[in-house]
């Protein structure tokens, strides 16, 4: 059975490689993208089953990526987990926006361990499989 | 040349501290996650420990450079100790210091300093700290802006008029131009990403360098070296020694 593919959008190379190693050892295939443009190209090529997204990216931020990502029919139901260094309460005014963009979960990087991230991915993929 | 305004100098400590505090989160998160990875994946322990060391050093350097910027802001220019400096020797030391960080981010450092150059008169610690602070920020910037396996960051030196221009240069569509730098200075401490068009984070190192240089009466400026964009400092050389 093919491994689920995760698109990890993270501009910090060290963190990206750390998350990638943890997720790959948990049984996933992980494609990395350092910015929004590379992420769109990566999604087109890799057909992700789930996206992990940092909101703070260079030039175009994560929200801009999400708007573009969700504009494609093929990607409208792909689960998205935000894993960001921005505190979730900073987005209180944009909770509705995150729901509309189909964000499944919001993890605050400072608090979210590797175990938390891996468990979140497993949970969201399982839910997505049941829902479709 | 894009100088720091008097108003910006007055609010330096608070704004720059806010920016530095924000940027310190990154190495601290790195250290925590790398530690977790080392426990989960014994095969990744050596790499994790190397990256932990690099992240720790980045955090400590950022704090040291910030503290230096504060001390210099309180120092009268006439009270600064200055000496004759070989710019090439300083460049070699900086490249050596920044190299581990660059390697951990997949960035290749190159030193470009051809020809003979007269010494400059400056405060050694301040000039070295400014270049180091700037270089570290730019390593993270070009690493974050590019998904390609290896990027190149050059520490370059060239003649400029009667003096020298020393700076960091990289290949990218995105540079840090005069307008970006000016806007960034106004946003220090107020925005998570003062140089958002160029840097996703870690920009406090650029502004720490900026304020250190201002104390030396030098200023960061956008620059080019061959086909590379960059940020550089113009230094006056000691013409008397050049004649000897």
Name the residue among A17, A10, A78, A81 with its Cα closest to residue A39: A10
Contact B100, B54 (CB under 8 A): yes
pLDDT tens digits, residue range A63-76? 889 999 999 998 99
CA pair distance A105, B163, nearest whole angstrom: 55
Confidence of residue B232 (pLDDT cuts 50, 70, 90): very high
Answer whether A85 sits within 8 Å of B33, measured CB to CB: no
User: Which CA distances in Å does B64 have to B11, B21, B82, B135, B212?
Assistant: 19, 13, 20, 15, 12
Q: Does pLDDT of B74 surpass 60?
A: yes
Confidence of residue B244 (pLDDT cuts 50, 70, 90): very low
Contact A121, A50 (CB under 8 A): yes
Chain B: give the shortest CA distance to residue A81, in Å: 18
Weakest-pLDDT range from B97-111, B125-139, B182-196, B205-219? B182-196
Q: What value does the mean pLDDT of chain B take?
A: 83
Chain B residue numbers with beta carbons less than 8 Å from the beta carbon of A43 are: none
Q: Does pLDDT of A48 surpass 90?
A: yes
- Please compute the mean of the pLDDT values over residues B218-241 and round it to a whole number: 84
- Please compute the mean of the pLDDT values over residues B68-91 and round it to a whole number: 86
pTM tops 0.90: no
Contact B66, B19 (CB under 8 A): no
pLDDT tens digits, residue range B97-155? 999 889 888 899 999 987 778 888 889 999 999 999 999 988 888 887 765 667 899 99
pLDDT at B198: 60
pLDDT at B12: 66
Q: Does pLDDT of A8 surpass 70?
A: yes
Contact A63, A101 (CB under 8 A): yes
Chain B: give the shortest CA distance to residue A102, in Å: 24
pLDDT at A45: 86
CA pair distance B33, A115, nearest whole angstrom: 10
Answer whether A34 sits within 8 Å of B147, measured CB to CB: yes
Chain B residue numbers with beta carbons less than 8 Å from the beta carbon of A59 are: 145, 174, 196-198
Q: Which residue from A minimizes the CA distance to B107?
A: A13
CA pair distance B1, B135, nearest whole angstrom: 20
Name the residue among B67, B212, B22, B58 with its Cα closest to residue A87: B22
- Which ipTM was obtained for this model? 0.92
- Please compute the mean of the pLDDT values over residues A68-95 and round it to a whole number: 86
What is the tally of helices (H) and strands (E) in chain A? Answer: 5, 5
């Amino acid at each position: 059975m093919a491994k689920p593919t995760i698109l990890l959008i993270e501009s910090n190379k060290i963190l990206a490689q750390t998350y990638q190693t943890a997720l790959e050892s948990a049984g996933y295939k992980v494609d990395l993208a350092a910015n929004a443009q590379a992420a769109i190209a990566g999604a087109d090529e890799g057909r992700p089953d789930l996206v992990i997204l940092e909101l703070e990216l260079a030039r175009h931020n994560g929200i801009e990526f999400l708007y573009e990502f969700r504009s494609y029919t093929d990607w409208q139901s792909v689960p998205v987990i935000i894993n960001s260094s921005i505190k979730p309460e900073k987005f209180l005014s944009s909770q509705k926006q995150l729901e509309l963009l189909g964000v499944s979960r919001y993890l605050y990087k400072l608090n979210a361990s590797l175990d938390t991230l891996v468990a979140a991915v497993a949970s969201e993929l399982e839910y997505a499989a049941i829902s479709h | 040349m894009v100088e720091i305004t008097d108003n910006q100098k007055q609010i330096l400590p608070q704004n720059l501290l806010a920016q530095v505090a924000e940027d310190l989160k990154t190495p601290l998160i790195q250290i925590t996650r790398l530690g977790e990875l080392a426990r989960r994946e014994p095969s990744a322990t050596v790499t994790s420990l190397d990256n932990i060391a690099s992240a720790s050093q980045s955090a400590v350097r950022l704090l040291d450079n910030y503290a230096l910027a504060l001390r210099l802001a309180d120092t009268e220019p006439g009270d600064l100790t200055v000496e004759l400096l070989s710019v090439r020797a300083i460049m070699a030391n900086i490249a050596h210091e920044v190299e581990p960080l660059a390697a951990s981010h997949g960035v290749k450092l190159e030193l470009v300093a051809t020809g003979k150059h007269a010494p400059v008169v400056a405060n050694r610690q301040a000039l070295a700290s400014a270049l180091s602070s700037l270089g570290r920020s730019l390593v993270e910037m070009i690493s974050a802006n590019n998904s390609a396996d290896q990027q190149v960051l050059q520490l370059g030196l060239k003649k400029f008029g009667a003096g020298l221009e020393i700076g960091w240069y990289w290949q990218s569509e995105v540079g840090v131009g005069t307008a970006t730098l000016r806007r960034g200075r106004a946003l220090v401490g107020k925005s998570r990403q003062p140089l958002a068009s160029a840097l996703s984070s870690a920009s406090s190192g650029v502004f720490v360098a900026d304020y250190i240089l201002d104390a030396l009466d030098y200023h960061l400026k956008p620059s080019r070296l061959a086909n590379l964009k960059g940020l550089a400092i113009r230094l006056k050389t000691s013409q008397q020694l050049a004649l000897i």
